[in-house]
C-alpha cells in the first residue's frame, strides 16, 4: 500500500500540492486534472523522484525519505517522454542497465531480457539503436524496461500523450494485462472506464476521489467553469 500523510510540495515559494492524505491499494488508479494541477508532482512523489516538503510518503511501510532505494525498487516509473528514460545506445543495453545496478548475474540478466522482449513482442527491437526508434517503439521499450525490474507498483505519467491510436491501443493492452498495481496520470478520460478508482487534482488539492464516473463528471464540471 502507498500512503501519503499531510503531504505538501512547493516550488519557488508557490504551493504545488497542499495537505494531500490518502492510501492507494486498488489494482488500477487513475489520476486526472488540468495542466498545473499538481498531478505529475503527485506521481513523482510515489517513487521518491520528488520528496515532500512536509508530510510523508511511504510504500509498504518504507518511507521515501529514509528508504528511497527500497521505495524505487517497489515503484517503477514510466515517463511521459521516453527520451527522458532511455539512456543507452541499444535497446538491449538499456534494458540491462537497471539489472546490472542490482548486481544480477550476467546469465540471469540475459535470460530476463530475452523473456521480456519476447513476452511483449519487441524482440525484433533488441539490437536497434534507441534514437532510431519511433515514438511508439520508444514508449514500449521504456515500459518494458520498467517491467523487467519486476516492481510491485507501476506509475505511468501520461504514457499515451505522444502516441498514435495504434500504439496507444498496444500500450494499453499491455497495461491492462499486468499483475502489478497501476497508477496512471492521463488526460485521456476514455482510458479510465475500467479503473477501480480515480483521483482528480485541482490547484494543488485533491478535488475528488472515487469511481471513474463520479470523479470524471466532477472534473468536467470544473473544466466548464
Structural domain spans, the chain = 2-223
Q: Which is it for strands 153-157 and 75-78: parallel, antiparallel or unpaired?
A: parallel
Q: Is the pLDDT of residue 225 over 80?
A: no
Q: Is the pLDDT of residue 66 over 70?
A: yes
Residue written as grid cell 512536509: 54
Q: What is the pLDDT of residue 89?
A: 92
Indicate the Cα dihedral angle 84, 13, 184, 163, nearest 10°: -40
Q: Is the pLDDT of residue 224 over 80?
A: no
How confident is the model over 123-133, as pLDDT tens digits? 899 899 998 99
Average pLDDT, the chain: 92
Domain spanning 2-223: which CATH class is it, in words? alpha beta
pTM: 0.91
Tell me what the mean pLDDT of segment 77-89 comes to. Answer: 90
Alpha helices in the chain (DSSP H): 39-45, 68-74, 91-101, 106-119, 135-147, 165-177, 212-223
Residue 102 CB burial class (10 angstroms; 0-12, 13-18, ≥19): exposed
Q: What is the pLDDT of residue 221?
A: 87
Q: Is the pLDDT of residue 38 over 90?
A: yes
How confident is the model over 108-117, as pLDDT tens digits? 899 999 999 9
What number of H helices and E strands is found in the chain? 7, 10
List the grid coordinates of 151: 516492481
Look at 54-68, 92-106, 138-152 and tell me which has the smallest mean pLDDT. 92-106
Q: What is the pLDDT of residue 162?
A: 83
Amino acid at each position: 500500500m502507498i500512503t501519503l500523510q499531510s503531504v505538501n510540495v512547493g516550488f519557488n515559494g508557490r504551493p504545488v500540492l497542499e495537505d494531500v492524505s490518502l492510501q492507494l491499494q486498488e489494482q488500477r488508479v487513475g489520476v486526472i486534472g488540468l495542466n498545473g494541477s499538481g498531478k505529475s508532482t503527485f506521481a513523482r512523489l510515489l517513487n521518491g523522484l520528488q520528496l515532500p516538503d512536509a508530510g510523508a510518503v511511504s510504500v509498504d511501510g518504507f518511507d521515501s525519505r529514509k528508504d528511497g532505494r527500497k521505495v524505487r525498487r517497489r515503484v517503477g516509473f514510466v515517463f511521459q517522454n521516453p527520451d527522458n528514460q532511455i539512456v543507452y545506445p541499444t535497446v538491449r543495453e538499456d534494458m540491462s542497465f537497471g539489472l546490472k545496478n542490482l548486481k544480477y548475474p550476467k546469465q540471469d540478466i540475459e535470460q530476463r531480457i530475452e523473456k521480456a522482449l519476447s513476452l511483449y513482442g519487441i524482440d525484433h527491437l533488441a539490437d536497434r539503436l534507441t534514437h532510431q526508434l519511433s515514438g511508439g517503439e520508444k514508449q514500449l521499450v521504456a515500459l518494458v524496461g520498467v517491467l523487467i525490474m519486476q516492481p510491485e507498483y507501476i506509475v505511468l505519467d501520461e504514457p499515451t500523450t505522444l502516441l498514435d491510436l495504434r500504439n496507444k491501443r498496444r500500450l494499453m493492452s499491455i497495461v491492462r494485462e499486468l499483475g502489478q498495481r497501476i497508477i496512471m496520470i492521463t488526460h485521456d478520460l476514455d482510458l479510465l472506464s475500467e479503473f477501480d478508482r480515480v483521483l482528480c487534482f485541482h490547484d494543488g488539492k485533491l478535488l475528488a476521489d472515487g469511481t471513474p464516473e463520479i470523479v470524471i463528471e466532477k472534473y468536467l464540471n470544473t473544466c466548464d467553469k
